[in-house]
């Protein structure tokens, strides 16, 4: 997973603390050469963080630590001390089950943009744990979702993170408005949070460009749904996210990308996500394009119903917008 990542936020090691199970210890993934004293210090601090949230006194020997280095190769030189750290609990129904942490050698606190991004994505990891527990328990979900987290939080663009968060809110509202079951609403919400994860494979010169993209740059940008789909192939979730992420730029009339799907060939979740994302982009604007008013954005959705958007989904989305206007 980490070999796919291009833009990294600054950390040296991602760490997962989780309870020991009857199956025994897990193997560290590409474990870096850490001293035993360092491992023990790290584990003790994470157990202390777990106890702070769980409000109990668990002992270090009740847990194991799994390591996810920043790169695919061992760290050089070995990480020998805890500089700055960021720890967050992973919970099921508000009951802490473990802790995820990010460590770097240098003494520099993680900035608030990074903290907010990690908090946002950790919320869907906890949702994944809750749902996964209904099927195969939490261990497999821990290990798979942490890979997605390691990739997702490394995107440098704060706009992308905010965009995904608000897109997910609109997508969830529309999914609920049309009466989808809770499991499907959760699936679409998580897909919306991750729909731009493929942008970590797009050059920063394109992502951060203040002017309109050239045809070549736009073609490069169009790769991000495919990259996102490939990332999610290796992640085990209790939802089918790949098809939604892969198809969220398809258009109802078949003129979208990457596959030119048409009508109901496009997964319902992707059609919902397409509307939610388009609306959020219109009211937020772009560096090269001023935001529209909410009324102008709603009019745009109506005008493109049947071409870019599923015409059956626009009316219930407009109902949501009108309700928000009245609130």
Query: Tell me, what CATH number does 203's domain have?
Result: 1.10.3210.10
Q: What are phi and psi of 26, to 5 degrees?
A: -90, 155
Question: Residues 126, 60, 40, 26: is their CA dihedral positive or negative?
Answer: negative
Asked whether residue 148 falls in the same domain as residue 6, the answer is: yes
Domain range enclosing 85:
1-154
Asked whether residue 10 falls in the same domain as residue 123, the answer is: yes
Calculate the CA 232 to chain-centre distance. 10
In total, how many domains does the chain have? 2
Single residue among 154, 187, 203 that ends a domain in this structure: 154
Please tell me which residue, 179 or 1, carries the higher pLDDT value: 179
**What's the confidence (pLDDT) of residue 311?**
97
- Strand pairing of 84-92 and 63-69? unpaired
Return d(Cα 282, Cα 294) in angstroms, integer. Answer: 8
- Do the Cβ atoms of 13 and 56 come closer than 8 Å? no
**What's the confidence (pLDDT) of residue 194?**
81
Per-residue pLDDT tens digits for 21-57: 644 443 333 345 567 778 888 888 999 989 988 877 8
Asked whether residue 282 falls in the same domain as residue 143, the answer is: no
Asked whether residue 148 falls in the same domain as residue 174, the answer is: no
181-199 mean pLDDT? 86
Asked whether residue 262 falls in the same domain as residue 312, the answer is: yes
Asked whether residue 20 falls in the same domain as residue 121, the answer is: yes
Of 159-168, 170-179, 266-275, 296-305, the one with minimum mean pLDDT is 159-168
Alpha-helical regions (H) of the chain: 36-54, 112-132, 139-152, 158-177, 182-194, 204-207, 215-221, 224-233, 242-247, 268-284, 294-303, 314-326
Which whole-number Å values give the CA distances from 133 to 6, 26, 86, 204, 235, in the listed order?
32, 18, 26, 38, 16
Asked whether residue 175 falls in the same domain as residue 81, the answer is: no
Asked whether residue 134 falls in the same domain as residue 244, the answer is: no
Per-residue pLDDT tens digits for 274-320: 999 999 999 987 766 789 999 999 999 999 999 999 999 999 999 99
Joined together, the tokens standing for residue 191 give 């897909």
Q: What is the DSSP string of 25-85?
A: PPPPTT-----HHHHHHHHHHHHHHHHHHHTS---GGGEEEEEEESSSS--SSPP-S--EE
258 cis-preceded (ω within 30 degrees of 0): yes
CA-wise closest residue to 102 among 82, 120, 116, 130: 82
Return d(Cα 130, Cα 97) in angstroms, integer. Answer: 10
Asked whether residue 59 falls in the same domain as residue 161, the answer is: no
Single residue among 126, 154, 182 that ends a domain in this structure: 154
Query: In the predicted model, is pLDDT for residue 202 greater than 90?
Result: no
Joined together, the tokens standing for residue 76 give 């050089």
Of 1-5, 43-47, 237-241, 269-273, the one with minimum mean pLDDT is 1-5
Asked whether residue 136 falls in the same domain as residue 214, the answer is: no
Single residue among 154, 184, 200 that ends a domain in this structure: 154
Return d(Cα 177, Cα 318) in angstroms, integer. Answer: 10
Asked whether residue 169 falls in the same domain as residue 304, the answer is: yes
Asked whether residue 140 falls in the same domain as residue 277, the answer is: no
């Amino acid at each position: 997973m980490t070999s796919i990542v291009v833009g990294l936020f600054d950390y040296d090691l991602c760490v997962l603390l989780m309870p020991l199970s009857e199956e025994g210890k897990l193997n560290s993934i590409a474990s870096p050469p850490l001293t035993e004293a360092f491992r023990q210090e790290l584990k003790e601090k994470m157990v202390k963080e777990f106890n702070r949230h769980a409000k109990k006194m668990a002992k270090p020997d009740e847990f194991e630590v799994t390591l996810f280095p920043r790169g695919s190769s061992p760290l050089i030189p070995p990480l020998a001390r805890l500089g700055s750290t960021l720890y967050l609990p992973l919970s099921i129904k508000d009951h802490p089950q473990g802790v995820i942490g990010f460590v770097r050698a240098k003494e520099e606190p993680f900035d608030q943009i990074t903290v907010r991004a990690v908090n946002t994505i950790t919320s869907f990891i906890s949702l994944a744990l809750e749902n996964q527990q209904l099927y195969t328990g939490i261990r497999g979900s821990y290990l798979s979702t942490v890979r997605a987290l390691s990739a997702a939080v490394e995107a440098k663009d704060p706009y992308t993170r905010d965009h995904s968060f608000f897109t997910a809110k609109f997508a969830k509202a529309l999914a609920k408005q049309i009466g989808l079951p809770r499991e499907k609403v959760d699936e679409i919400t998580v897909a919306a949070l991750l729909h731009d994860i493929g942008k970590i494979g797009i050059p920063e010169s394109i992502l951060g460009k203040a002017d309109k993209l050239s045809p070549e740059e736009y073609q490069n940008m169009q790769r991000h749904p495919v990259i996102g789909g490939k990332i999610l192939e290796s992640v085990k979730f209790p939802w089918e996210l790949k098809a939604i992420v892969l198809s969220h730029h398809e258009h109802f009339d078949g003129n979208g990308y990457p596959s030119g799907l048409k009508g109901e060939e496009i997964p319902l979740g992707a059609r919902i996500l397409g509307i939610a994302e388009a609306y959020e982009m219109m009211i937020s604007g772009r560096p090269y394009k001023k935001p529209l008013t909410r009324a102008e954005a709603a009019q745009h959705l109506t005008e493109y119903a049947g071409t870019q958007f599923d015409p059956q989904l626009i009316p219930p989305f407009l109902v949501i917008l009108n309700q928000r206007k009245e609130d």
